[in-house]
Amino acid sequence: MRLLLQRVKSGSVLVAGHAIADIGKGLVILLGIGPGDGESQVRTLTEKVANLRIFEDEQGKMNRSVLEIGGSALGFGEQARTFARAETIVAVAGAGLANMVFAPREATVLELHNVRKGADFFALLAQQLGMRYGRVTGELLLQPAVIANNRDFRIDPAVFRQVMGEVHPGA
């Protein structure tokens, strides 16, 4: 089990540009659960997160939990519910795309890449889940020595439509 926490002043989950969940001050939580993880581990981790002293008190010391500040948490449940309702998932290659495991089996997944050659992990995952899958490779906007992130590329709309048509005819 892996957990990534981020303290935030606010956070939201957007679907088609509309917020379906949002919070004020609190935690954004990304949670990865493996095959060997059970309910007792989830309970233990939930208790630990709720009581972590990672928020400042009146003296500026990290001495308060999210419960003590009256904060909120935006986490795994919202992500799972969002993907569970998805008919089509279009996402940049990366760990967040693994949430496709919560999507309906008839969903279409389009993975966006910024380099010509990418790992086949999400293609294999989609195949195992019985989903339609396509990969769209973008054009690099810059030619850096090392590609540091997934923002520096552009997807040609015509190529996107072509791949979507091949993967999901009639969409």
Domain-wise residue ranges, the chain? 2-78, 86-167
CA pair distance 28, 75, nearest whole angstrom:
6
Asked whether residue 93 carries a pLDDT value surpassing 90, the answer given is no
Query: Which pLDDT does position 60 carry in this prediction?
Result: 92
CA pair distance 94, 98, nearest whole angstrom:
8
pLDDT range class, residue 169, cuts 50, 70, 90: confident
For residue 109, count other CB atoms closer than 10 A to its CB.
Answer: 24
pLDDT in tens, 2-14: 788 888 888 877 6
Asked whether residue 136 carries a pLDDT value surpassing 70, the answer given is yes
Asked whether residue 144 carries a pLDDT value surpassing 60, the answer given is no
**Both tokens of residue 158?**
């015509």
Query: Which pLDDT does position 77 carry in this prediction?
Result: 66
Asked whether residue 152 carries a pLDDT value surpassing 90, the answer given is no
pLDDT in tens, 33-79: 667 777 778 778 888 888 899 999 999 999 999 889 988 877 666 67
pLDDT range class, residue 171, cuts 50, 70, 90: low
pLDDT in tens, 99-110: 788 888 889 998
Pick the CATH number of 2-78 from 1.20.58.1610, 3.50.80.10, 3.20.20.70, 3.50.50.60: 3.50.80.10
Inter-residue contact 136 to 157 (CB < 8 Å) = no
Query: Which pLDDT does position 6 carry in this prediction?
Result: 87
Burial track 76-91 (b if 16+ CB lie within 10 A, e otherwise):
bebbeebbeebeebbb
**Mean of the per-residue pLDDT values for the chain?**
80
Query: Which pLDDT does position 57 carry in this prediction?
Result: 92
Mean pLDDT of 109-116: 78
